[in-house]
Amino acid sequence: LTVRDLAPATVNRRLAGLRAYAAWAKSTGALATDPTAEVQFVDEQRSPPRWLDRQQQVALRRTLDLTLERAELEARLAELEGRPPPPALIWTRRDVALVLFLLNTGLRVAELTHLDLDHVELHPRSGQATVLGKGCKRRTIPLNAEARSALAAWLAVRPESASPALFTGRRGARLGARSVQRIVARCGEGLTPHVLRHTFAKNLVNAGVGLEKAADLLGHSRLDTTRIYTRPGWQDLEEAVEALAA
């Protein structure tokens, strides 16, 4: 289980289930010994989540802007030279929309990849996404202006596809988790979809959003899970110390 990189709590839950099954099998005589007896539970002590601070978020948006500007410039040059538009612009818009969507919604990878076109509503001043989260629980997330703008730019060029998926690949199929992870990783060293989720959560807390609202947006069933984002990050500590010299 640990080789599959599962969370410690998940490993322990499954091990507990195996132990209960082994104990029952032993009591019925189906097993002579308990094969799980020597298997130890995993330490569940959590390392603090990693998120992007404000400067890193500015740098990420700058990277996305520059990437999009280059693709748009190439498309304009192709138009001036009478060449067909390069497909790079289409996929750059998709990638930018995907990253900004994650940054502004905090979706888990599985939640993003299961989104269909009809799960999203876009209006000039509002928008929302209906998400199927853990435990098959549905929640609705409002979409802010940045998420709506990026998503609209992608939908304007999204190729026709038999797939109803919101985000599709070059062959028209639904993007998988690995593809999403690769797209995000190209935008910054060490960047992952979960770092973007942590960043969204930390931004909510820093903006003064209550824990219950933040938990609803993140799809947390327990407030304790959301409460970890109230811990100060390095930038918070730096600002606290600098305030003494002000």
Q: Is the model's pLDDT at 228 over the cut of 90? A: no
**Confidence category of residue 3, pLDDT binned at 50, 70, 90:** very low
Question: Which residue type does 47 have?
Answer: S
Question: Which residue type does 213 have?
Answer: K
Q: Which residues pair with 139 in a beta bridge?
A: 131
CB 140 within 8 A of CB 111: no
Catalytic pick among 93, 197, 198, 202: 197
Question: How is residue 143 written in tokens?
Answer: 């979409």
CB 215 within 8 A of CB 223: yes
Catalytic pick among 94, 108, 198, 202: 108
Percent of the chain with pLDDT over 70: 94
Domain ranges of the chain: 54-185
Catalytic pick among 83, 134, 138, 178: 134
Chain mean pLDDT for the chain: 90
Using alpha carbons, select from 85, 93, 51 the residue that is nearest to residue 229.
51
- The whole-number average pLDDT for the span 187-207 is 95
Determine the Cα–Cα distance for residues 149 and 153; give it in Å rounded to an integer.
6
Is 134 labeled as catalytic in the residue annotation?
yes
pLDDT digits (tens, 9 = 90+) for 32-89: 888 888 888 776 655 678 899 999 999 999 999 999 999 999 999 999 999 988 999 9
DSSP letter (8 states) at residue 174: B
The pLDDT value given to residue 1: 53
Is 119 labeled as catalytic in the residue annotation?
no
Question: Which residue type does 184 have?
Answer: V
pLDDT digits (tens, 9 = 90+) for 121-155: 999 999 999 999 888 899 999 999 999 999 999 99
Which superfamily, per CATH, for 54-185?
Intergrase catalytic core (1.10.443.10)
The pLDDT value given to residue 45: 55
Q: Is the model's pLDDT at 231 over the cut of 90? A: no
Is 229 labeled as catalytic in the residue annotation?
yes
Is 194 labeled as catalytic in the residue annotation?
yes
Is 93 labeled as catalytic in the residue annotation?
no
